[in-house]
A and B are shown apart, each in its own frame.
Chain A
């Protein structure tokens, strides 16, 4: 998709801006509570899995432009 500089992009919707952050926040809260309220075992695993996702998301987006830089 191409946009001339003279026709600005439309503003993104609230969901477009906050959709991903809200999902990640929900995942973090689930991760924090599952280890605390669950009875160990599976709930610990779910907690670790949920909390590693936001860290993975950051690594993904930070590493991505570095990889694509030679092409740009």
Chain B
């Protein structure tokens, strides 16, 4: 490597790291509890337990949940019905109007078999800030909405750039050292440099994957917006002048139609007719997914005419939304059982050490250009051999 390119890589590593380290530390620390968010949510939940029924107990007709929601909130509109495949649970999401911001959504949680209302949950704006929400907002957007999310996404990109430049610099720093050398008898700075290099290079593939998929997740809102503005808009063009569907056909019938057409797909939710920014004014969007670790993350919506109940179209998602969907499990680490979650936490902790040691190495740096530090590095590298 020429001394000029070495200096450029060194500056790249220094500045990309410095710019993102504080935010990456926030992301890594808040990420620790988020790995276990399902377990923590279960533990913190004060929801009444489900009654014990045989595993094959029939499920209540979906239209009953819709009726109950309408009866309790006659002035609100139904946004969606979510059908859990994990717990015997159906959640109905409502909003004060079609146009209302999603933060005003409130939900009703039902037992999917008995049809009993288990919990009536007010909108997030009226709930105290829960621990997991606090962690998630600090992790995702620092309470600054879309712009905060894009900012954190940019920090993630800097993190990826810092990893790549770090790997390039790894070569000259290791040219005299055996892999895994930790010179613990040397000055503290040398020892931490070795630890920084070792921990960083060993976990680099995980860091790149989780960093990049984190950036993808931050782009979720704009990417879905792009899809609605292009593909969905084109699909709904025929209904462009039709007003909002008023006399809705049966949601259960729409569910059954899709279930008959696509018997191997699991139906996870139904988006009710709504404003074009959230769905289709004239259709039920029936969200289907597969039942394997990967395919259960790949959703395909089916459009059913909300007045006639007739099948309209299968809306295949574009490649960029498929990439986003695959990015989610690879970021969350929630697709391989408890052992994978524990591994995620360990790798997160290692990343925190890499970030912290990087900050220390910068603070305790020698005010010398990278070439001088390399000469020094090589000199120290000889010492352990000479001592043997």
User: How many residues on chain B are close to A (CB under 8 Å)?
Assistant: 46
The answer on a CB contact under 8 Å between A40 and B293 is yes
The answer on a CB contact under 8 Å between B340 and A18 is no
Tell me the complex Cα distance, A65–B176, Å.
18
The answer on a CB contact under 8 Å between A62 and B293 is no
Given contacts A20-B180, A37-B294, contact A52 B206 (CB under 8 A): no
| CB proximity of B377 to chain A, nearest CB, Å | 12
Q: Is the interface of B mostly helix, strand, loop or mixed?
A: helix
B198 contacts which of A4, A52, A61 (Cβ < 8 Å)? A61
Given contacts A20-B180, A48-B343, A51-B343, contact A36 B382 (CB under 8 A): no
B175 contacts which of A5, A12, A66 (Cβ < 8 Å)? A12
B202 contacts which of A4, A17, A24, A32 (Cβ < 8 Å)? A24
**Which residues of A from 34 to 64 have beta carbons under 8 Å from B?**
35-40, 44, 47-48, 51-52, 54-55, 57-58, 60-62, 64
What residues of A have a CB within 8 angstroms of the CB of B176 in the complex? 8-9, 11-12
Question: Is B195 on the interface with A (CB-CB < 8 A)?
Answer: yes
The answer on a CB contact under 8 Å between A58 and B350 is yes
Given contacts A9-B382, A32-B330, contact A58 B198 (CB under 8 A): yes
The answer on a CB contact under 8 Å between B205 and A1 is no
| CB proximity of B353 to chain A, nearest CB, Å | 9
Question: Is B121 on the interface with A (CB-CB < 8 A)?
Answer: no
Tell me the complex Cα distance, A40–B343, Å.
17
Interface residues of B (CB under 8 A from A): 167, 170-171, 174-176, 179-185, 195, 198-199, 201-206, 209, 292-294, 326, 329-330, 335-337, 339-340, 343, 346-347, 350, 378-379, 381-382, 385-388
